[in-house]
Amino acid sequence: MFSILKPLLFNLDPEAAHDLAIKSLKFNILPGKLFEVEDEKMLNIKVIGNTFSNPIGLAAGFDKSAEVYNSLLKLGFGFVEVGTVTPLKQLGNPKPRVFRLEEDSALINRLGFNNDGIDIIKKRIKSLKKTGILGINIGPNKTTKDQKNDFSLGLKNFFDLANYITIIISSPNTKGLRYFHNQ
């Protein structure tokens, strides 16, 4: 299916293509059986007290504001990690901020933690009910004065909603964040 859509998507700006993918997945119209595999149970793994349907997951960065994680789980991912979620809504870096490297089959992502913020995302996750393993990636706002407090807010708000939480301390887009590597 991707081979059919690729020429259309690659004619779009990469960030517009990403936004189109999110909007399309919100319809959640694909039947769950479409991606079912014979003897799929053999792929189950137990990690951190959770049974993952398979070890292939989608890392944070695609579903930044937890809008389509159930649709992504239906596509066959064993887990989906949303975010990076910051305490306050954040628009991210100025555009352009996503670049295709077609010859390398890669993307450069300099989005900068754009997301809807803890309050909206927490309400969304509560209302959408997760249908599989959900990870939540948390980080500080770019202009925060207290990064440790931002991490604490993320943990307090999501500890009972996520199967696991990832604390991001390596983004080059947030000044001083790599300081935590030495802690």
Q: Which residues are catalytic?
A: 171
Cβ atoms of 167 and 138 within 8 Å: the answer is yes
Rounded distance between C-alpha atoms, residue 150 and residue 67, angstroms: 22
Sign of CA dihedral 108, 104, 57, 172: negative
Cα-Cα-Cα-Cα torsion 10, 58, 168, 98, nearest 10 degrees, comes to 0
Task: Return the exposure string of 156-181: e unless at least 16 CB atoms fall within 10 Å of the residue's CB, then b.
Answer: ebbeeebbbbbebbebebbeebeeee
Cβ atoms of 164 and 50 within 8 Å: the answer is yes
Q: Which two tokens stand for residue 110?
A: 């300099």
